[in-house]
Structure 1
Amino acid sequence: MGNKTAKPVATELTPQQINLLRANTNFTDYEISQWHQGFMRDCPNGRLDKKKFQEVYAKFYPQGDVKDYCKYAFDTFDANNDGTIDFNEYLICIAATKGGDVDDRLSFAFDLYDISDDGLIDQKELVKMITALYELNGIHDRTGDHNPKTRAAEIIASLDISGNKKLSKEEFIAGCKNDPHLRGILVPNV
């Protein structure tokens, strides 16, 4: 993160950008335009920084603490690692989390959980994400079924087909698709 300098952003979408976004999001031109207007209203410079990202999430999760979840989500959204999210990055991630098919949405969730970006989710990463999800949703009870370490260990044991105590993207997607309860825990909106 922060390795590249953010390029200036045009305030209007070009026909090429619209075509690219339509192809990568399945949104209509009108929907892309509406998302763009809202993005530019909230981010007049065409870039969303971490602070503003947290402010936006806090509006949707007023009962919780968004800080840790937003740290991981921001890093996932910031595809070019320039420390900001431009409209293209933003809309592609919105499409993956809200409008994509189940596999696309689960793939995005895997990328979010794979904090080390090594193509695997280990128990430590899973504990961090479960804890961040609890904080995001204002869940303060961390005992019994809500203990992040216990929950992570159970999930790894349940989904880890290869036996390496880590989840590949394929194991994660297949496991979430085959177990609605786990999918509800790990990817609640799918």
Structure 2
Amino acid sequence: MKKLILRGLLLVVVLFVIIIIYTVWDNSRIKIVKQDVSIPNLPEELEGYNILQITDLQGRTFGSNQQKLIDQINSLNYDSIIFTGDILDDKKVDYTPFYQLVEGIDNKADALYVEGNSDPSNYVISDSGQLIKHEFVQGMEERGVHLLESSYTIPVDEALIRFVDFELSVLDPEKGFVLANGRTSPP
């Protein structure tokens, strides 16, 4: 009976270790998912328009995989690159990993950033009382990534593609808005 209990306990410990190892591996791997989106009545010029979305980096540096990430991004054929939040970890104030990533990316012709809940607010009030862009946003823009504040339009031949900040796109002026984590959102 004791052997059975010990084997069961050993099995639980081994499974626990496997789960921990898998979680660490899964949180540090580079994952590329190609998603085809069907949009009715899409202008012909926009057929095949590729958007690369990068999200949830959480301020990490991927060590030797950082260059692999940059190389994989640069090997992809995309028209726009969108950084969709949680780029930083709200517990750290180190912008270096993200800045290094952006500096290594070749195609930033249409690079956009949308703040996530772990990222700093896009704007801060300066010591003189003026509303200014956060230093993270300023540094990002210096490296060729545009802050998506309301909408951003890209001409593609005779067609236009518009990127819109979702939180702002669903606001109803009649109902107003509330601030949540420094962002406007519907009440």
TM normalised by structure 2 equals 0.29
Higher relative contact order (CA 8 A, sep 6+): 1
The structure with the greater share of residues assigned to helix is: 1
Looking at secondary structure, tell me which structure has more strand per residue: 2
TM-score, normalised to structure 1's length? 0.29
